[in-house]
Structure 1
Amino acid sequence: MTASGGSSADGKKSLSDLAPLEAVFFDVDGTLCDSDPLHLYAFQVLLQEIGFNNGVPITEEFFIQNIAGTHNDHIAEFLFPTDIPRGLKFIEDKEAMFQRLASEKLEAINGLYKVKKWIEDHGLKRAAVTNAPKPTAELMIDKLGLSEFFDTVVIGGECEHAKPHPDPYLKALEVLKVSKDHTFIFEDSVSGIRAGVAAGMPVVGLTTRNPEDVLMKANPTFLIKDYDDPKLLAALEELDKKGGSAENAA
């Protein structure tokens, strides 16, 4: 792939191939905001309280490999394979703790509001597509001042299958009545990137917390550090040159 997201040797669709652009989809955790440290802290505290892993706090590596980007039902099953009801209750307590932390400490990924303005200026449709529970997702979106920005919020747990299955992104296409051939996605996890790719859309991966080599295995179009990354800015400029948005092309 080229640094600007142009056509690549492996045949991946570039952002400029999407012109005229109709929509942009965003994951929430780790994509709109650097929330993983808050999730990790909540898991560490609550798991330590119940003596998980002999009372030794889970590591960030364990969190990335087994928890980040995964639907809560699967996390409960993974942590408590012999007592799923206990696992689900634990997840409820963890979400409550995370919500308290997020209310105080949540911050947007660098450059997010510049991309928000670019999307608004181009008249694009936008969806938040997340595996987070609805109350948690809505809290984060509200804290970031994005409640009015998104046309819809798609919750993975309300689809037949959550990420890494494509269902949540396919639902977003259906709800907004846009084409996968004119839409791209921002994601930060292997699970999310796989879901977007499986739904047939280019995915720009953010290296917020997950290692680049791990994310690349999920086949993103390209990776960026944050929304100020020159690779993204060059790709959006290239997209503009090829026709920008459906609104501008009309």
Structure 2
Amino acid sequence: MSHALRVFFVGGRISYRALFNWISPGMYITTMLGSPLFQILFFTYLGRYAGGQSDDFFIVGNAVQVSAMAGIYGMVMGIANERQFGTLSPLLATPANRLAVFAGRGLPFIVNGLAVSTFGFLSAWALLDFSPDPSVLPALAVVVTITVVSCTALGALIGSIGLRARDVFFAANLVYFLMLLFCGVNIDVSDLPGWMEAVGRAIPLTHGIEAAREIVDGAALADVAGLLATEAAIGAVYAVAAYGLFRLFEAEGRRRASLETY
């Protein structure tokens, strides 16, 4: 167990650090902080102009959604880049616990997603007069944490597909931006066409955003327990599917000697 935990924590940290062999700090800060900031500002001011919802509706929706950037893109790079950079075969040649190897890659991106979402809320407080009651902040933190974990599970699924697909980064971009449309970030999910609402409720983020909005409006954590349970269950389904694909593609890659072929 201690060896598996070491693989989980140390392996995840090393995998995260490896990203900075090709991502400069300037690029990282611009992408992970600059882009979310302007997204929150843009949609909040657009919402003010349209006059359909309050500022809090757009601030909460976008501040939670930007956390998916780390979960989706980060996990795709953390898994699929092993194949692209030629390190997949040495990694899978080790006797390390596969679940620890796989799950450990998600921990840094969960922390990263929480940091991005926190930055988004703080920016809204500083620039958009977003001022929820301080008593709701612990519950809001719980909601955002569950949502980030769920989004990271979706990113792990896409990353696992990248162990076989030729260009998974297009899929990651597509999924991330479609979440803006399907998950009720700027349009209430109940106002979407029926098929879009059904899709949105089957993917991470949707129920987390609903719960976060209710918390900011003054609801207690117990009042959104159903939404959080649904969000966690969706994340668990994606996580199990992601790990299943990871093991399947590992076995198929060994059998066909195609772990790193394109």
Structure 1 and Structure 2 fold alike (TM over 0.5):
no
Q: What band does the TM-score fall into relative to the shorter chain?
A: under 0.3
Larger Rg: 2
Normalising by structure 2, we get a TM-score of: 0.27
Bigger strand fraction: 1
Q: Which of the pair has the greater relative contact order for Cα pairs under 8 Å at 6+ separation?
A: 1
